[in-house]
Structures are given as structure tokens and as C-alpha cells.
A and B are shown apart, each in its own frame.
Chain A
Amino acid sequence: MKRWGRHSGMAVLVLLVWAGLKVPWELRLARERSEIMYGAELPPMSMELRDSLGQGMTLAALGGFRGVAANFLWLSVTTAWEEQQWTRLRALAEMVVLLSAEGVFFWENAGWHMAYNASVSAERFSGDAERGEGPRMRNVESMHWIKQGIELYERGIRAIPEKPKLYEMLALLYQQRLQDHEKAAHYFELASQKEGAPVYLERFAGFALEKAGEREKAYAHWVKLWQSSEEHGPGPRRWGMIEERIRKLEKN
């Protein structure tokens, strides 16, 4: 009987030795991947997510095409937006960001749908006006969607802490939807410190501090900006504007 001879025994031995080596190696690779992709350890694909996805999507995700699955699910998010089905949109967006946590685009737009589109829609239409519960219900519901937006942006920041976009979006949310200029300034400041951040963000932080009534902090911010460079010629950093803010705050 040659079929399972000496060589096959050696093959089994090689596989056993390799099995003992590969598991610790794969564990380390998985840990490093999780840190790069999610900033923390997350399961690669939770059972709940698999239950929520259709068969085709699950197959695509399991075949290593999570990005493609996320893209096609995002088309459903857009449809839900057009039909103003906010709860469905939230559930779909959750699946998309779980499938593709590395994409700023999905976090950014999912948060925007919640904090702007869904919350403004709630402000206008929710509650039964005849029963006198309109304004109260509208505020409660609108705030619910804004909180959903904040939650998405905060989770997105934890997943992709190195990109400025989500800090900027969170700052704009605090500024435009909640008029919380202090928090907005904080996130503009954080965004401006990230690599590749647009230069206007450092000015936005100063303006937000002024709006928050933090004159001393705003003055310190503008002076720090001015002192961050010795060249104050024309350019994207708009030194003229910074100088104007410093003078104005010095006058008052």
C-alpha cells in the first residue's frame, strides 16, 4: 500500500509543526491589522452583522470583498435618504461602517445624514400638532438624530484617528446644529493638527472660540498662529485676517 506511506507521514508532521507556529503568528498579524484598521480590537465580522446582511452580501464580505459589499449597501443608504426612511438609513449605515470601518467617506456621510437630514426632517415633521405635542416631540426627535450623528463621528474618529475630516465634521456639527462653539473650537483645533488638514481649520478654531465668548483663549490662539511662522506674506494662511483678529481683540 503505497498511497499513505512514509512521505505522507512526513507531510502530516510538517503540517503539525506549521500549525504550532502559524497560530501565534496569525494572532499577532490580526492584532496589528485591528490596530491599523479600527484603532482597537474588533471582531472581524460579528454574527449580528452576518445576520443582517443578505446572502449575496455575506458571500461578498466573506470572499474578501467587504469594500465592494459596503459600496453596494451604500446605494441602499442613498435610496433610504431619498425616501426619508431614517430608521432604515441608520441600520444600513451601521452595516456599512462595520463592513468598511476604514473609509472616512462612510462615517462622514452617515453622520451627516443623521445630524442634518434626519434631524432637520424631524424638526419639521415629527409629533402630532393637533395634540399639541409638535414642538416638544420635534425637539426630542431632532436631538435623537443629532446624537446619532455625534456617535457615528466619534466612533469614526476612534477608527480613523489620523484623518482630519471627521474631527472637522464633528466640529461643524457642534457649531451648526448645537451652537456649542467651545466644543466646535476644540474639534477644529484637533482637526487642524492632523497631517494634511486644510489650513482654514486653524482659523475656524479661532473664530469658534470668539463665538463661544472665550476672548482670552481666542486671542492666545490667534497670537499662537501668528507666531507659528516668520513669513507673513500672501498665501493660504491669510495672515491679514489673523492680524485683523489680533488687533480687534486687543482693542476691545
Chain B
Amino acid sequence: MKSLKETWWRIEAIAGNTLVEALRQRVLNVIFLFGLVLVLGSLFLTSLTFQEEFKFLKDLGYAAISITGTLVALMGAAQLIPAEIERRTLHTLLSKPVRRYEFILGKYLGLLGLITLMLLIMSLLFAGVLWAKEQLGLLGLPPAESGEEARQMIAAVTAQSRDLNLLQALVLIWAKLAVVTAVAVFFSTMATSTIFIVCTTLLVYFVGHLQSVAREVWLQEIGGSSWLKQGFLALVAFLIPDFQAYNLIDEIIAGNAPPWAGSAELLVYSVVYVAVLLLVSSLVFEDREL
């Protein structure tokens, strides 16, 4: 029990240090600033469109949050772990009673903490943007006291901006980013080049959105096509996460209300995926010559 506590303290210390270090990174701050501008800018971009501005606003706002989070996850993981090896600070750290898996877990949790913090700030800003849009929308409507029709119109506007299901979409974005971060951490345990880590993680990210297609084709063509093609498709299906699963976010943004049970299962899938990736990362890192 005591050793478990001590392990947790060490992980916590590394995570805290990673978070502070990441907050000082200029690249990550610039990406974050870019994200904030994108979220705010979505308020003005919507005036380009003809109708249903709320859908466009939500799509752009959530895309901004998602893109920023992905970039932070990529750059964060690609910079922070290789930098420790390059600067040889890792040697000092590992000469203390710190295990390699504790280092990996601490780094991951620190990065996840950073992503969670950024997600929260951007979500709050986006809530403000939605509120502003709602107020602008209500300006042109007759007051609620003027009749049932006015009340229905007001209700239609507020239903769009105060949709609690949007929280569900945020949770799913967070879960997806947690998996992307774990993928980036996995690659950073094998490589020291930032470009290599960013490129391979991005590759997994894009292939992950096509993984379900590869899986379907593989399952349909078992025994039917060349072994090379089947082997490749099976490899994609087995090794790459299914990022298409997170498309439920689109459903929520469109104003539909998918059951929370579906999102909860996706959350469990993400947690298990992250756990597997971190376990594999720790095992690979154990064998790595520093």
C-alpha cells in the first residue's frame, strides 16, 4: 500500500512538472492562442451563411477546440519526452527511485492535464460566444409577453444555445484527445525526432478516421482477395484506433440527442485504449537504451 502511494506521488510530481513545463512552452501557447482566436472567430464566420447559424457556429467552435487540442497533444508529446532524453535530464530523473513506467505515466497525465485545462478554457469561451449569439438572435424577436408564437421562437433560439447535450460532445472530444495523446506518447518512447513523432501520430490520426472502412473491407473479403491486401487491412484494423467512432459529436452538434449510454461506452473504450497504449509504451521504454 505504501509503495503504491509512493508510486502515485512520483507520478503526480512528474505530471505536475510536465504541466508547468508545457505551460511555459511558446509553441503550445501560440497554438492555444490560435485556438482561442478560432473559437472567437467562429462568431463572425457564421455571418457568411444563410440560415441556421447556430449549427455552423457550433460546428466551427467545436472544430476549433478539437484542432487545437490535437495540435497541443501532438506537439506536447513530441517535444516534452524527447527533450528530456536530449537534455539528459532523464538520466538524473531515473537515477532517483523513479521507474520508467512512472515517468511515462507522469508525462502522459501532465499532458492530459494541459489538454483538459485548455479544453475547459476554450469551452468557457465558446459558451460565451454561444451566449452572445443567443442575445443577438433574441434582439430581433418580439418579447415573450406578446404571444405564444413569440414564446415558441424564443424557445427555439434558447434551445439551440443552451443545449446541455453539448457537454456530451465536449466529453467525447476530450476522450478522443486522450487517445491521440497516448498514441503520440507511444511514438515518443521509440523516437527522438519531433518531426517523426508528429508525422506518425498524424498518420495514425488520419488513418484512424478510415480504419472502419479498412475493417469493413477486410471482414467482407476474408479469403476472397490477395493475402497481402488482407494482411494490410487486418493490420490497420488491429493496430489503429477507430476515430470514426467519435463522429457521434456531429450528431450532438446537429441538435440531436444520442443516448448518454453510447457516449459512456465510447468513454470506456477510450480509457481502455489509453491504458493499453500506456502499458505498451512503458514496456517499449523499458527496453530503450538511453
Contacts and interface: CB of A to CB of B under 8 A. Distances in A.
Contact of A64 (B49, B246, B283): B246
B52 A105 contact: yes
B56 A33 contact: no
A29 interface: yes
Contacts of A70: 59
B3 interface: no
Given A3-B289, A14-B276, A236 B148 contact: yes
B256 A44 contact: no
Given A18-B276, A67-B63, A68-B60, A29 B266 contact: yes
Contacts of B163: none
A163 B254 CA distance: 12
Given A3-B288, A27-B215, A71 B56 contact: yes
Contact of A10 (B215, B219, B238, B283): B283
Given A30-B245, A68-B60, A5 B209 contact: no
B245 A163 contact: no
A104 B255 contact: yes
A199 B278 CA distance: 54
Nearest to B100: A7
Interface string B236-277: 011100111111111101111011001001100100010010
Interface string B190-233: 00000000000000011001111101100100000000000000
A45 B262 CA distance: 21
Contacts of B284: 7-8, 11
A133 to B, nearest CB: 35
Nearest to B155: A196
A216 interface: no
B179 to A, nearest CB: 12
Nearest to A65: B63
B248 A36 contact: yes
Nearest to A195: B257
B49 A71 contact: yes
Nearest to A8: B287
Interface residues of A, number: 53
Contacts of A18: 276
A8 B289 CA distance: 12
A64 B254 contact: no
Contacts of B242: 26, 29-30
B133 to A, nearest CB: 15
B209 A62 contact: yes
A54 interface: no
B205 A7 contact: no
A33 B215 contact: no
Contacts of A45: 210, 213
A23 B236 CA distance: 11
A77 to B, nearest CB: 9
Contacts of B245: 26, 29-30, 33
B286 interface: yes
B250 A29 contact: no
A7 B189 CA distance: 13
A104 B206 CA distance: 27
A102 interface: yes
Contacts of A236: 148, 152
22 contacts: A3-B289, A5-B286, A10-B283, A14-B279, A18-B276, A23-B237, A26-B245, A27-B215, A30-B244, A36-B248, A36-B258, A43-B216, A44-B247, A63-B205, A64-B243, A67-B250, A68-B60, A71-B56, A74-B49, A75-B48, A102-B256, A103-B254
Given A23-B215, A33-B245, A103-B255, 8 more contacts: A7-B284, A7-B287, A22-B238, A23-B237, A29-B266, A30-B215, A36-B258, A104-B255
Interface of A: 2-8, 10-11, 14-15, 18-19, 22-23, 25-27, 29-30, 32-33, 36-37, 43-45, 59, 61-68, 70-71, 74-75, 78, 100, 102-105, 109, 160, 162-163, 198, 235-236
State the 6 A-B residue pairs at the shortest beta-carbon distance, nearest first.
A19-B238, A11-B283, A7-B286, A67-B59, A102-B254, A103-B254
